Each structure stands twice: as structure tokens, then as C-alpha cells.
Amino acid sequence: MSQNEAYYDTLALIEKGQWCFGSMDEENEERAIKAAKALALFARLNEQDCDGHPVSEIIVDFIANLMHLGEAINFRVLDEESAVIPLVRIAAVHFNAETKS
């Protein structure tokens, strides 16, 4: 499944425990389930919990809202030089460490 084929119903299936994660290890599967549950709740709060809402759109909206939260609590979200979220780079390091076999 490509990111263009993943819709809200994918999150709902994961949330209900009806999703096959394939060869993903147990710890990373649990991480994915927690993220899906949080994203599904966010989608419901924003009325994006119906067929046709791509997961990619829900994720983008969630990240934008996290950026608004960061601004509200005086947490520097953007790197002034490159306008790239430094936290995403750190998260990528964590992800890569957690997915190495």
C-alpha cells in the first residue's frame, strides 16, 4: 500500500487490532499502534474520520497543529536557517535506530 492508498479506515483497522503488520518486530508494531491510535483520535477531533481522508493529509494537519502548540508554549519548532523541523531529524535518528535489525 502506498501513502496515497492509506485512508482513515486504515487507522481504524489498526486501532481495532485488525491490521497485519507483516514482518515488523513486536516493539515497532506497538509503536505504530500507539501512533495510529493518536492519529485516529486527532482525525476524529477534526472530523477527518470518514472515508476519503488520506492518512498523509491527517499527518500533515497533525504536524501543523504540533507546530502551533510549539509556538503557543514558546518551543522553537522551526530552524530559522532552513525552515526544517529539527525534531523530525531527531525523530528520524530514533526511527532508524529502532528499525535496524
CA distance 42 to 51: 15
Q: How far apart are CA 96 and CA 101, in angstroms?
A: 10
Say if residue 25's pLDDT is above 70: yes
- What pLDDT, in 10s, does the model give residues 57-66? 999 999 889 8
pLDDT for the residue numbered 62? 93
**What's the whole-model pTM score?**
0.81
- Is the pLDDT assigned to residue 14 strictly greater than 70? yes
d(CA 88, CA 9): 26
DSSP 8-state assignment for residue 24: -
Work out the number of other CB atoms within 10 angstroms of the CB of residue 89: 10
The average pLDDT across 76-92 equals 74
Q: What is the mean pLDDT of residues 22-43?
A: 94
21 Cβ partners below 8 Å, 6+ apart? Answer: 29, 32
DSSP 8-state code for residue 22: T
Q: How far is CA 28 from CA 6, 39, 94, in A?
A: 19, 16, 11
The whole-angstrom separation of Cα 20 and Cα 47 is: 26
Split at pLDDT 50, 70, 90, the class of 46 is very high
48 three-state secondary structure: coil
Domain map (residue ranges) of the chain? 8-99
